[in-house]
Amino acid sequence: MLLLTMCAGMFLVQLDVTVVNVALPTIGTGLHAGLAAQQWVVDGYAVALAAFLLTGGALGDVFGHRRVVLTGFALFGTASAACGLATTAPLLVAARAGQGVGAALLLPGTLAVITNAYPGHAERARALGVWAGVSALALAAGPVLGGAIVTAVGWRPVFWLNVPVVLAAALATARLVPRGERVPGRRIDVAGVATAAPALGAGVYAVIDENLVAAVVAAGALVAFFVVERRAPDPMLPLDIARRTLPATFVSAAMNFVGIGTILVLTLHLQGVWHASAFEAGLEVLPLFGPLSVLAPVAGRLVARFGPRPLMVAGLALGVLGMLNLVLLGDNSGYPALLPTLLGLGTGMGLLTTAVVTAAVSDVPAGRAGVAGGINNTARQAGGALGVAVLGGVSGAGLPAVGVIAGLLWLVAIGVTLRAPRDNPVARAR
């Protein structure tokens, strides 16, 4: 029950990544929002989530993950209600950013609770397989559920749906998750929080909006962050953990760059170019999400037996083949021609997700599970936000351009995985 309750938090976070995609054309019409504003409905959430994930993980390690998860549910539910009530695009984007802050507390918190509850490597890998499977189920449910709701009653109930789920999950968390005490000697790295959030948030914003000022702010904040972390007595990002998780961090970022960016591009393409309805578009991307949902729990058992690297390489290779299929497509290609991309990417991510998360949290010192989860999830969410911006931006040149960029990035990720040192969690067999 504890595992399923934590999965509920992950389900909400991931559901709101994709449930909005199929609603974007309807939101644009209802709020008189252009394409740029529609992208910010997606990226307002992603930027805030990326900016505060490290902070969320660090807060959980200091104050206890139960408290932080409950706070995350409260913020997420309140912001969801505000999304449903928004009357203009800027108000909707602001409320989506509020959802992102709540999600930044939920993601590392739920992952840390699971990591601490399953200390053995094999049982942890299986538990994370369930966690990843629920995450994949949320991604799959998002387009179908969102499409059905939008088609039947409009886009606002897409957000109101979160509120009762949040209430139920918060009550279960309060009952099932042990009450953690504040760790003696641990304290909030205020300077780290003050520099990490603008470094991550402004960095993602700079790429999305091609904003030079934001890029300068991000670069300055990033330099300041590393300076203060080297000097902090209790840093929010211990550099030894950052170095150890670097291969998994890169692959996580590449995974979501391609996965989330491609999902947005394909849902917009199905509706805008191939004239599918919101509900039809949700159904047509199911061949991507089906394998992802089914394989993630199975991958947990395989990772427990063989280690992360074989599954990471296999998943990335299948994804590369699927994305390169886009090179063959044009605006007049039929839906069957898109199926190899959907199946290749879905199967690849199904093998990859559990493996890369397991590698990220393996062999982390006691009391640092939140930080490790924060690093991994920061990479994933920042990668997803950048994927929406970059792949969404080049999609005007056609699906082949998206396929080339995505395929090349995952080829690089294969190289990073294969070159990970033998003592790195990515390379270690169990």
Clarify whether residues 196 and 112 are in a common domain.
Answer: no
Confirm whether 292 is domain-assigned: yes
Clarify whether residues 374 and 388 are in a common domain.
Answer: yes
Clarify whether residues 124 and 254 are in a common domain.
Answer: yes
pLDDT at 421 over 90: no
Clarify whether residues 262 and 323 are in a common domain.
Answer: yes
Max Cα-Cα span within the chain: 63
pLDDT digits 0-9 by tens, 94-153 = 999 999 999 888 877 887 788 777 877 777 777 877 777 777 677 667 777 777 888 888
Q: What is the dihedral of CA 61, 64, 68, 70, to 10 degrees?
A: 160
pTM greater than the 0.85 cutoff? no
Clarify whether residues 243 and 283 are in a common domain.
Answer: yes
pLDDT at 354 over 60: yes
Confirm whether 106 is domain-assigned: yes
Clarify whether residues 174 and 227 are in a common domain.
Answer: no
Clarify whether residues 205 and 287 are in a common domain.
Answer: no
- Number of compact structural domains in the chain: 2
Q: What's at 143, amino acid-wise?
A: P
b or e along 212-224 (b: 16 or more beta carbons within 10 Å of the residue's beta carbon)?
eebbebbeebbeb
Q: Are 411 and 306 in contact (CB under 8 A)?
A: no
CATH number, domain of 388, equals 1.20.1250.20
The residue out of 211, 235, 259 marking a domain boundary is: 235
Rounded-to-integer distance, Cα 367 and Cα 346, Å: 34
Clarify whether residues 361 and 216 are in a common domain.
Answer: no
Please report the pLDDT score of residue 255 as a whole number.
Answer: 92
Neighbour tally for 337: CB within 10 Å: 15
pLDDT digits 0-9 by tens, 173-198 = 888 887 765 556 667 778 888 888 88
The residue out of 180, 206, 235 marking a domain boundary is: 235
Clarify whether residues 72 and 212 are in a common domain.
Answer: no
pLDDT digits 0-9 by tens, 324-343 = 999 888 777 788 899 999 99
Clarify whether residues 230 and 243 are in a common domain.
Answer: no
Average pLDDT (375-380) is 79
Radius of gyration of the chain (CA): 20
Please report the pLDDT score of residue 430 as a whole number.
Answer: 47
Residue 203 belongs to what domain range? 189-235
- Which of 106-115, 255-264, 404-413 ranks highest by mean pLDDT? 404-413
Clarify whether residues 203 and 249 are in a common domain.
Answer: no
Residue with the larger pLDDT of the pair 127 and 418: 418
Please report the pLDDT score of residue 422 as a whole number.
Answer: 62
Please report the pLDDT score of residue 309 as a whole number.
Answer: 87
The residue out of 202, 235, 268 marking a domain boundary is: 235
Confirm whether 428 is domain-assigned: no
Confirm whether 425 is domain-assigned: no
Confirm whether 94 is domain-assigned: yes
Residue 167 half-sphere exposure, CB side, CA atoms within 13 Å? 6
pLDDT digits 0-9 by tens, 16-72 = 766 787 788 888 888 888 777 887 888 788 778 877 877 887 787 777 878 888 999
Q: Are 282 and 144 in contact (CB under 8 A)?
A: yes
Please report the sign of the dihedral spanned by the C-alpha atoms of residue 154, residue 160, residue 164, residue 165. Answer: positive
Confirm whether 105 is domain-assigned: yes
Confirm whether 64 is domain-assigned: yes
Clarify whether residues 151 and 253 are in a common domain.
Answer: yes
Confirm whether 424 is domain-assigned: no
Q: Which residue has the tokens 């900016």?
A: 51
Average pLDDT (73-102) is 93
pLDDT averaged over every residue in the chain: 82
Average pLDDT (256-283) is 82
